Amino acid sequence: MSISLTILGCHSATPRTFASPTSQFLSINNEHFLIDCGEGTQVQLRKHKVKFTKISRIFISHLHGDHLYGLIGLVSTFSLYQRQAELHIYGPKGIEQIITLQLQLGKSVLSYHLIFHELTSKKSVLIFENDKVSVFTIPLKHRVYTNGYLFKEKIGERKLIMEQVGRIAEIDICDYQNLKDGKDFLMEDGSLIKNESLTSNPLPPKSYAFCSDTCFNPKIVPTILKVDLLYHEATFLQEDAKLAVKTKHSTAQDAANIAKQAEVVQLILGHFSSRYNDENLFLTEAQTQFKNTVLAKEGLVITI
């Protein structure tokens, strides 16, 4: 089991030649998700050699342009590639109208089925689940209705202790899956070998929480408690805390405070304002409260 996160864009407001707005590619147990889709996301996917045709679900946090304006282009490109697999899009109410209208006015007919899941709940809710992963919303506080997303691995299979398994001639390869599923092994003579003597516990399931955009909001702490990796917006430095409050964004210190309260393993800062010339100031500010902090950078890959 593993989680791999690729940062495609991590800056706020308008895209620039050296900075792209928010977008991330997440792989978790061979499931491939896109989180937000700011302008230029397609270019970033290609630039960083991400096989974006594998994306099955897209999660949009809110309907501000720096998190959304790349979506219609990506939806259209999938059709140009003659995509056949259905594509699921999760986002605030209104996202279906935005994308559908653009397609209609352009007289575009997709080669695949587009399925929208519009979100309205102000509480954390389960929005997707299969045998590999569960996805929950993280209600955030911004100028418009906004959600973060929590991705949690399911508990994996037990691990075979091959040294022990190999000592029992009756155990064949066809029995391995039953052992991984936790079943005991029944010998021909009727005796039972306990699963615990043939397998070990699976690795603890991992988790990733994405939080952008939001003002300082301790109410999210119970939802993201002890996640392995937290991305939290840090648009401003503490010297501009009043501006953060006014625009309902966070400072680097705010993000670190949330990470500390939630006892997360690692914090990633992103969504930097262009008013600052030195992004290392964000890192210095956050690390005074939460040491295990890194800065988001385009092309950064973090694997848990």
For residues 144 and 25, membership in a common domain is answered with yes
Return the pLDDT at 179: 86
For residues 189 and 120, membership in a common domain is answered with no
For residues 186 and 278, membership in a common domain is answered with no
pLDDT band, very low/low/confident/very high, at 158 (cuts 50, 70, 90): confident
**pLDDT(147) > 60:** yes
For residues 194 and 150, membership in a common domain is answered with no
Catalytic residues: 66
Contact between residue 121 and residue 137 where contact means Cβ atoms under 8 Å apart:
yes
CATH of the domain at 210: 3.60.15.10
Domain final position from 137, 168, 200: 200
Segment 101-128 mean pLDDT = 97
Return the pLDDT at 1: 54
Considering the entire predicted model, what is its pTM? 0.91
For residues 169 and 32, membership in a common domain is answered with no
Domain final position from 168, 200, 232: 200
pLDDT one-digit tens code per residue, 228-284: 999 999 999 999 999 999 999 999 999 999 999 999 999 999 999 999 999 999 999
Return the pLDDT at 2: 81
CA distance 141 to 158: 40
Return the pLDDT at 240: 98
Return the pLDDT at 156: 81
Lookup: tokens for 135: 């996805």
Return the pLDDT at 46: 95
For residues 166 and 263, membership in a common domain is answered with no
Instruction: Return the exposure string of 9-37: e unless at least 16 CB atoms fall within 10 Å of the residue's CB, then b.
Output: bbbbbebeeebbbbbbbbbbbebbbbbbb
For residues 147 and 173, membership in a common domain is answered with no
For residues 41 and 174, membership in a common domain is answered with no
Its domain, for residue 232, covers 3-156+203-303
Return the pLDDT at 270: 98
